[in-house]
């Protein structure tokens, strides 16, 4: 059992604020993803939970017990890092077993626990090998097994897939998803990759410049972004965002006019997803094609509208030349509206 509470947690180095007033309760057995660009404070937050970084203000509680002053070894957390941090002179078996020796677990239990952990990440046939004889994906699985063998209260994973190639990332992501289902241990996972966040998380915390921007399920964050930062960060491609003005329920920007927009008159940022719009004979946008990307299951058409590049998902067989003029339907009902000052959702 491990419910984690962060109460007004901040981290400062002099005048620089790394994490600002972070408030959150992470439920027992929840898979929580901290998501954001480099320098947003996500790894610092994780390191404070692990005890590798001191908290400047606020409290961290595990099952109601304050752990701010506990050493990392006394916090019952297991970390998986971006770098695999394996011992090169030990084989896979001994790398996985090492935490049991350090924690003075009775030796009679070692073999069964090592083999259970290695089986979960499909490493049984590699137990005799040294790390130098393994691929990147296999090394990361050794690091996962070494965390699993501890049977900790909390897993902390810091960008564990970022050193893997695209295909391995997909298969290892599936493995982590399956492991979290099997192990049912509270997991905090740090990434800058929004696809990882969307596919793995029970809930996502989107961060920017040390501040939490939005907390919600992947669906909530995708469908109802709290502000333009979240809208522009989540999704592949990210949400289209266009600056314009509303007058009498009509949104207007260069090459773009949408009637039936429910916003007061004045400047506004309008957003919509590429898959919610459609290429059409006549539409709310008419602009030259900037680029065309064949994705296999669809064709992504990008147009330049004023100062923004707008993407619209078309049928996989759709073809057009760059520079040709195209129209797209953007119904008012699919649009999101944001305040141009500060970017909050209207």
User: pLDDT digits over 83-109, tens only?
Assistant: 888 999 999 999 999 999 988 899 999
Whole-number Å distance between alpha carbons of 261 and 336: 9
Judging by DSSP bridges, how do beta strands 154-158 and 77-80 pair with one another?
parallel
Q: What is the mean pLDDT of residues 221-245?
A: 95
Smallest CA-to-CA distance from 335 within 268, 282, 280, 290 is with 268
20-46 pLDDT tens trace = 999 999 999 999 999 999 999 999 999
> Domains in the chain, ordered, with CATH?
4-231 (3.40.50.300), 237-338 (2.40.50.140)
Which of residues 313 and 137 earns the better pLDDT score? 313
Helix 107-120 to helix 166-183 angle (10° resolution) is 130
- Quote the mean pLDDT of the chain: 94
What pLDDT, on the 0 to 100 scale, is given for residue 85? Answer: 83
| pLDDT > 80? residue 183 | yes
Smallest CA-to-CA distance from 139 within 96, 195, 182, 185 is with 96
Q: Can you name the residues that pair with 77 across neighbouring β-strands?
A: 154
pTM: 0.92
What pLDDT, on the 0 to 100 scale, is given for residue 232? Answer: 94
264-296 pLDDT tens trace = 999 999 999 999 999 999 999 999 999 999 999
Q: In Å, what is the CA distance from 235 to each residue of 256, 298, 339?
A: 23, 16, 20
What pLDDT, on the 0 to 100 scale, is given for residue 112? Answer: 94
Q: What is the mean pLDDT of residues 7-28?
A: 97
pLDDT band, very low/low/confident/very high, at 1 (cuts 50, 70, 90): low
What pLDDT, on the 0 to 100 scale, is given for residue 91? Answer: 95
| pLDDT > 90? residue 306 | no
Tell me what percent of the residues of the chain surpass a pLDDT of 90.
82
* Range from 222-226, 233-237, 288-292, 328-332 carrying the lowest mean pLDDT: 233-237
Rg (CA), the chain: 24
């Amino acid at each position: 059992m491990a419910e984690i509470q962060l109460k007004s947690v901040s981290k400062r180095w002099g005048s620089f604020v790394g994490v600002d007033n972070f408030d959150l309760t992470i439920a027992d057995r929840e898979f929580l993803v901290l998501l954001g660009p480099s320098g947003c404070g996500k790894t610092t937050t994780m390191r404070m939970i692990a005890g590798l970084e001191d908290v400047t203000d606020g409290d961290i509680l595990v099952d109601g017990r304050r752990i701010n002053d506990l050493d990392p070894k006394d916090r019952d957390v297991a970390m998986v890092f971006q770098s695999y941090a394996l011992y090169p002179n030990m084989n896979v078996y001994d790398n996985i077993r090492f935490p049991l020796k350090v924690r003075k677990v009775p030796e009679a239990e070692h073999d069964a626990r090592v083999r259970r952990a290695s089986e979960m990440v499909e490493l049984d046939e590699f137990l005799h090998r040294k790390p130098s004889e393994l691929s990147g994906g296999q090394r990361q699985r050794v690091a996962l097994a070494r965390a699993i063998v501890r049977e900790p209260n909390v897993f902390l994973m810091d960008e564990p897939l970022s050193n893997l190639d695209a295909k391995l990332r997909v298969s290892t992501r599936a493995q982590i998803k399956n492991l979290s289902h099997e192990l049912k241990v509270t997991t905090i996972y740090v990434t800058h990759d929004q696809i990882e966040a969307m596919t793995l998380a029970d809930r996502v915390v989107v961060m920017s410049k040390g501040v939490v921007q939005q907390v919600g399920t992947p669906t909530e964050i995708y469908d109802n972004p709290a502000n333009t930062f979240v809208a522009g960060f989540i999704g592949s491609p990210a949400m289209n965002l266009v600056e314009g003005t509303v007058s009498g329920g009509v949104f207007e920007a260069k090459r773009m006019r949408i009637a039936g927009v429910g916003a007061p008159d004045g400047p506004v940022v309008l957003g919509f997803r590429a898959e919610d719009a459609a290429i059409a004979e006549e539409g709310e946008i008419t602009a030259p094609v900037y680029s065309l990307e064949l994705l296999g299951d669809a064709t992504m058409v990008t147009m330049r509208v004023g100062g923004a590049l707008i993407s619209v998902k078309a049928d996989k067989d759709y073809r057009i030349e760059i520079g040709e003029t195209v129209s797209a339907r953007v119904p008012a009902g699919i649009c999101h509206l944001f305040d141009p000052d500060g970017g909050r959702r209207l």
